Amino acid sequence: MSSTARSPQSAPIISASAIHAEQLCRHYRMGETLIRAVDGVTLTVRAGEFVALLGSSGSGKSSVLNLIAGLDRPTSGSVTVHERNLAQLSREELAKYRLHTVGMVFQSFNLIASMTLAENVELPMRFAEVDREKRDDLAREALARVGLQARMNHRPSELSGGEQQRAALARALINRPQMLLADEPTGNLDSHTGTEILNMVREFNQQLGMTVVMVTHERALAERYAQRLIFLADGKLVGDESNLAVAAEPEPVRAEGGQQ
């Protein structure tokens, strides 16, 4: 990770490559037909970048995200995150990678319904074997950061979509990952709430220097927040453009090892 001190004027916005995919393929066999969900994608995302993956449904954007997240393995090609080739990691190592290096948010929030918000946020720390006392404090802190301190002991079903997504964000960031992967984070939210969530994501991106990869099909939203737009169609990369409007915004970012 890059580690220069914050100096907005002179430092390059992004230094090292956080994600590098090389001829990335993910093919499924469905009966007789071969589905090429991801078909030879090569791309590089630099640390601290806010990237949007755009494309219509079935374009393979979620599949790429799952491969970056270590939830899935490529059929061929490689995906390297912070110098680690995910294809070569064992299942156990991949789980560790998901636990510490990436945080994920989903369209359907994916909070565990039987748990309170605090417990949901605490869960990754249980897997990381963080001490109980420390866990309680950190969970409270994380929920306070997304404005849910009053809702700690509520279950997800008692909350609005926006609140659930904020809790999911708090959970995704609880182990201080270097990267946030968001799969249609606003897909289930009204535009106002969606904006609220993405403002938060941008805040994390800018303040914590976190690399963000967001899958969306809403181009307008992507243009408003992402520094770079990557277009996929039929599993192939069909466009990659810098979003100058966002990239030029003040408060540019450099990564700081994912630490706060």
Partner 1 sequence: MKLPDLTELALRNLRESVLRNSLTTIGISVGVASLVAMLSLGIGLQQLASRRLMKSGLFDTVVVTSRRDLRNFNREEERNGPAPGESRILDEPTRLEIEHLPNVVEAYPDIRFITELRYEDKPHLTMVAALPPSAQTNDAFEAVQGHFFSSDVAPEAILQKAFAEELLGKTPKAGVDETSVAELAAPLLGKELTMRYAQREAASIGPSKSANDNSTAPADQSLAGAAYSVVSREQKLKIVGVADLDPESMRGPTRARVFLPLKLAESLHVMQPTDLREVSRAAGDEPVYSSVSVRVKSPSQIQTVEDTVKKMGFNAFSILDASKSIQQFFKVLDVFLGIFGSLALAVAFIGIVNTLVMAILERRREIGIMKAIGASDGDVKRLFFAEAGAMGILGGIVGVALGWAIGQVINLGTNIYLKSQSFPPEHFWSVPWWLVAFAVVFSFFVSLAAGLYPAGRAARLDPVQALRYE
* Residues between 193 and 252 that touch partner 1 (CB under 8 A): none
DSSP, res 104: E
112 forms part of the interface with partner 1 (CB under 8 A): yes
Choices 49-57, 113-121, 146-154, 207-215; region in contact with partner 1 by CB under 8 A: 113-121
Please select the residue that binds partner 1; options are 1, 87, 115, 247, rule is CB under 8 A.
115
Nearer to partner 1, 68 or 229 (CB): 68
Nearer to partner 1, 132 or 192 (CB): 132
Nearer to partner 1, 32 or 92 (CB): 92
Nearer to partner 1, 14 or 201 (CB): 201
Contact yes or no for 88/80 (Cβ under 8 A) = no
Number of residues that bind partner 1 (CB under 8 A): 30
DSSP 3-state of 249: coil
Which residues are registered as beta bridge partners of 241? 229
Dist CA 259 CA 176 (whole Å): 6
Query: Residue 74, Cα to own-chain centre: how many angstroms?
Result: 19
Choices 44-52, 64-72, 139-147, 154-162; region in contact with partner 1 by CB under 8 A: 64-72
* Residues between 66 and 95 that touch partner 1 (CB under 8 A): 66, 69, 71-72, 91-92, 95
166 forms part of the interface with partner 1 (CB under 8 A): no
DSSP 3-state of 236: strand
Please select the residue that binds partner 1; options are 20, 46, 171, 254, rule is CB under 8 A.
171
Choices 121-129, 193-201, 225-233, 239-247; region in contact with partner 1 by CB under 8 A: 121-129
127 forms part of the interface with partner 1 (CB under 8 A): yes
DSSP 3-state of 44: strand
Angle between helix 132-145 and helix 117-127 axes, rounded to 10 deg = 130
Selection from 171, 209, 211 nearest residue 18 by Cα: 211
Please count the other Cβ atoms lying within 10 Å of the Cβ belonging to residue 195: 16
Please count the other Cβ atoms lying within 10 Å of the Cβ belonging to residue 41: 25
Q: Report the Cα–Cα distance between both ends of the chain, in Å, rounded.
A: 14
35 forms part of the interface with partner 1 (CB under 8 A): no
Dist CA 195 CA 148 (whole Å): 17
- Minimum distance from CB of 151 to partner 1 (Å)? 19
Structure tokens at 59: 């374009």
Under the rule (CB under 8 A), what is the footprint of partner 1? 66, 69, 71-72, 91-92, 95-96, 98-100, 103-104, 106, 110-115, 123-124, 126-129, 132, 171-172, 175
